[in-house]
Amino acid sequence: MAGKRMLWFAAFLILLAVPGNAQGSKHVCRTAGGQCRMGICLSGEVRIGDCFIPVILCCKKYPVRKETGELQGGA
């Protein structure tokens, strides 16, 4: 009986150590230039994906557009 309990305990520990099938990862988010955030993205950021489903989002600052210098260097 004690051997069977030890076997179940070992199986339980192995299941805890095996990674799950959560979608997304911190590495992919950071490679894309984003940061993982709990809940919602901060002001000035846009959601570009998920670090882990369902609550940790991958957020990235809005892309900054360079204004064209049509009036620069004028006469």
Residue 31 placed within a domain: yes
pTM of the model: 0.48
- Asked if residues 52 and 37 have their Cβ atoms less than 8 Å apart, the reply is no
Domain of 48 in residue numbering reads as 20-62
Q: Where are the alpha helices (DSSP H) in 1-75?
A: 2-17, 26-31
Instruction: Phi first, then psi: give them for residue 21, nearest 5 degrees.
Output: -105, 35
Answer whether residue 11 is part of any domain: no
Q: What tens digit of pLDDT does each residue of 18-56 get? A: 554 445 678 889 898 999 998 889 989 999 998 887 788
Which single residue is written with the structure tokens 């709990």?
Answer: 38
Number of domains in the chain: 1
For residue 39, what is the domain's CATH number?
3.10.360.10
Distance CA 61, CA 45 (A): 4
